[in-house]
Structure 1
């Protein structure tokens, strides 16, 4: 009987140590490193931004830390599909097409697209894209929006880029007439780049969230942490820190929601 108790106690200790080791395993996070104020890689090699603060807080509430790696935007989708990343962040829009092969947490931001142009442009909205060459980031929501609305917009052509920086540099230098991207990131970039402005805004209703491998066993836990952050005011505080204003009282930023099963 005594030996049985000793063996039982030893097994309990081993299970406890295994659970602790699992809890301390870092959350592997993929991030597009040139997407301020959402996420950006500093000269010191660390990451900062609105979504960086969110995922670090989520990891903390899960009893672990976030191990963030920089990736090209297109590589984010490969990272979750191959399960090399537990989570990816990059102002990612929930779409039905993406939900077919990926999972998403609840949204925490409602986005809009901006149309970037040079300061001497008289473009004021989507109608101004007619006969223009337009830049966008490959596989982004902006690219999908342009392709889906090709007949209506009547643009001359679309040029896809691997990075926002290359796209906006081409816009500065006149290689493209306009650029379509997330309006928050675009406005932030234009505080650092001369000669560019947001010529128009497109209200799309897109919802930004964290993307995870399809059917991830961490999905519900991550989603619950986001709900708790909305409920206790943490999410609103981070929003105001990075975007300079308080979120609307009924916005996605402060409203707890379930894991989405559809884009709407």
Structure 2
């Protein structure tokens, strides 16, 4: 067959278009970043796979989008860089929506109202927020509890707030006495303390914080993901997953079953 100049140009152009389409096909997987030691929200198992409440949520979201979720573990602070840089499409890790975070990130609608807990060694006399005065406290770096405590440092009067990159190191320091109390998500603390002896949640701090998934600012996937979360709330899927992982049905009129719009600054 004789090829003229127009045919050759057409063939080369078609090949170039085909090659440029390959990266988009490779990105069809929903890329998810997760802090890997945060049960029952998410946890990496011995086989390297992830399980947990938010893991089941993103897997369901991906399925309804016609794809699968590829979950990768990150240190907590690295999660914010991962979304901002476009390395992942979304992040799960019982993340609290705040106006400060909304300046540089986007969030889906919330699906759980969180609370913080004070974790101590059994027998500790720390039984309330006021008892933290003069004590050595531990929190996760860049977390909502860290910021919440530091904003109230003068009022609470704790001696120090040691920050950690991961929960395991924080709890180790609690057990060895390097810190006298830790403050973190109460659900996660209670779950962790069932796996070890000598530790307890002595007090729950109700803050009204709302947990959601974080995405890059104005992500093109944000609206679709938010609509799917609304569907999961309406058809009972979200409530079913909540009860499976958190051990009781969600509040009848709570965030887990109430469809909501995408949050904007000033909502929190």
**TM-score computed with the length of structure 1 as normaliser:** 0.91
Matched, 1:43 2:46: yes
Question: Within 5 A, what are the aligned runs for 1:28-67?
Answer: 28-67=31-70
1:132 to 132, 135, 138: 135
Q: CA deviation at 1:23?
A: 9.9
SS at match of 2:195: coil
- Structure 1 contact 89–211 (Cα < 8 Å) conserved: yes
Point out the structure with max Rg over C-alpha.
2
2:145 maps to which residue? 142
C-alpha contact (below 8 Å) 1:24/1:64 kept by paired residues: no
Separation of aligned partners in 2, 1:227 and 1:139: 29
Give the one of 170, 183, 203 matched to 1:167. Answer: 170
CA deviation vs aligned residue, 1:47-79 (integer Å, no higher than 9, x gap): 000000000000111111100000000000000
Ranges in structure 1 where 5+ consecutive residues have no aligned partner: 1-10
How far apart, CA to CA, are the structure 2 residues paired with 1:260 and 1:23?
A: 30
* Within-5 A mapping of 1:184-199: 184-199=187-202
Aligned counterpart, 1:182 = 185
Partner of 1:151: 154
Runs of 4+ in 1 over 2 A off after TM superposition: 21-24
In structure 1, C-alpha distance between the alignment counterparts of 2:25 and 2:211, rounded to whole Å: 29
Picking from 94, 97, 111, the partner of 1:94 is 97
Say if 1:145 and 1:24 are closer, same or farther in 2 by CA, change over 3 A: closer
1:24: Cα distance to partner? 7.7
Give distance in 1, aligned partners of 2:246 and 2:187. 8
Distance change in 2, residues 1:187/1:258 (3 Å): same
Work out the CA distance in 2 between the residues paired with 1:211 and 1:137.
18
Give the length in aligned residue pairs.
250
Q: Deviations over 1:155-199 (max 9, x none)?
A: 001100000110011001101010000000000000012110011
RMSD: 1.8
Is 1:204 aligned to residue 207 of structure 2?
yes
CA displacement 1:211-259 (0-9 Å, x = unmatched):
0000100000000010000000000000000011000111000000010
Q: TM-score with structure 2 length normalisation?
A: 0.90
**Contact conserved, 1:24 with 1:63, CA < 8 A, in 2?**
no
* Whole-angstrom distance in 2 between the partners of 1:155 and 1:199: 17
